[in-house]
Amino acid sequence: MASAAAAFSGSIPSHSRLHRDHKAAQIGNLVSVVQFRESNLRKKWAVHAVEPTKRNDSVVASAASAVAEATVVVEETVKARETEEVVDFEKLAAELENASPLEIMDRALATFGDEIAIAFSGAEDVALIEYAHLTGRPFRVFSLDTGRLNPETYKYFNEVEKHYDIHIEYMFPDAGEVQSLVRSKGLFSFYEDGHRECCRVRKVRPLRRALKGLRAWITGQRKDQSPGTRAQIPVVQVDPSFEGLDGGAGSLIKWNPVANVNGKDIWSFLRTMEVPVNSLHSQGYVSIGCEPCTRPVLPGQHEREGRWWWEDAKAKECGLHKGNISETQTVNGDAESLDSVNGTPDLFQTQAIVNLSRPGIENLMKLERRAEPWVVVLYAPWCRFCQAMESSYVELAEKLSGSDVKVAKFRADGDEKPFAQQELQLGSFPTILLFTKNGSRPIKYPSEKRDVDSLLAFINALR
């Protein structure tokens, strides 16, 4: 975890655009040549294999040449990675604090190229697409189709695609997970037990899949949108909640080009540039999400009061920007138990995860022959690394529900920390342990990658 903590503090590798594009072009061309030659060589060797006595020296020479060029590709790729510039994103955030949204957008696209994408919700964050368009650089846009959006939003997506001549990359929730949620709890369970479970299935998990293919993403967050959670967001940061292409904490960068822009100025910009907008805005909608969870706001109301209005929550986030919630904020009425010490919400709240007490985990350790394997996370609710893996661990538990593997959690901070360090191999939070059926000592998960596939691979290899 030491390396993860260092990465999380704000520095990851990044290429300069010109160097990367030139290198990518070279490598791409060489790879194409090698692949083409390898394809031809396979055909030639198939022919000559029939007549082994007729050796064709030109084919051997071509094979040697292809191998040599492939070696060059590998060597140049390694050299490119070795010469990557290490960027201090906290320092960069301070440098860009007073920069214009256009300048910040240009810097983001120049730094990450096609490994960054704009998150577009169908609301006033269309300003991001306009800024990206104005830079003259190529850009990608993705959106989360939850299946519960307003008809006006779907029509607007189509309008935006035509206006900018782009294709939005849509991400959808897993059909099986949606079916399971609706069959077990109905179409509108969020009105009764809070919106987080539905948002996790329809928004957070699809977003997690989208971001795993990127090194950075661009959001429309503004400080004035939600004073309870967004007042301190920087213009660029190491994402505290999600993982990027390389996996592990600190592997994804989050850009917020309009963080310092107020809502009135955003709308002035949209009108000046004649940007198409969602027709719901003319009906009193400001912050637009899913149809059942969004309504117009009255004059004088804050825009976020139109989201999940049945909840008396000070920290209205669906989970996409959960990292905005500080350690000392309480989340009232959000169907989550709270830390009695500082009011932070507890983690991994699902019936698929067993909450182990100190006697419970001690009994688990004493068992010489267990009926089934157990995977246990040692965590602290205030730990951002633990918060970042919450969705993936919950998803893991739900995937393993009904199998022969039990999934559990043990809160290992405070008075329990010395015990966890001495008896449970706790080095830093989170620590994941696997208690096998016959093992006398739990096996510690060695990787910093905490996505579902990596965790499943670890469990399946030892179960």
Q: Which residues are catalytic?
A: 383, 386
State how far the Cα of 219 lies from the Cα of 257, in Å rounded to an integer.
Answer: 7
Cβ neighbours, 10 Å, residue 436: 16
State how far the Cα of 191 lies from the Cα of 60, in Å rounded to an integer.
Answer: 70
What would the two tokens of residue 249 be? 């904490």
Identify the bridge partners of residue 86 per DSSP, sorted by sequence position. 13
Beta carbons within 8 Å of 407's beta carbon, 6+ residues apart? 352, 353, 354, 374, 375, 376, 393, 396, 397, 400, 401
* Residue among 88, 97, 92 at smallest CA distance from 10: 88
Residue located via tokens 């964050």: 125
Cβ contact 447:240 at 8 Å: no
Mapped onto helix, strand or coil, the DSSP state of residue 13 is strand
Peptide bond into 430 cis (omega under 30): yes
Residue located via tokens 């709270």: 338
Identify the bridge partners of residue 410 per DSSP, sorted by sequence position. 378
Residue located via tokens 């995860």: 353
* Residue among 321, 136, 141, 115 at smallest CA distance from 221: 321
State how far the Cα of 385 lies from the Cα of 424, in Å rounded to an integer.
Answer: 19
Measure Cα distances from 89 to 205, 301, 338, 358 in Å.
26, 35, 32, 40
CA atoms within 13 A on the CB side of 345: 22
Distance of alpha carbon 80 from the chain centroid = 26
Residue located via tokens 């007073």: 98
Cβ contact 113:17 at 8 Å: yes
Sheet holding 141-144: strands in order across? 169-171, 141-144, 116-119, 216-218, 253-255, 236-238
DSSP string, 134-180: HHTS---EEEE--S-B-HHHHHHHHHHHHHHT---EEE---HHHHHH
Beta carbons within 8 Å of 117's beta carbon, 6+ residues apart? 139, 140, 141, 142, 169, 210, 214, 217, 218
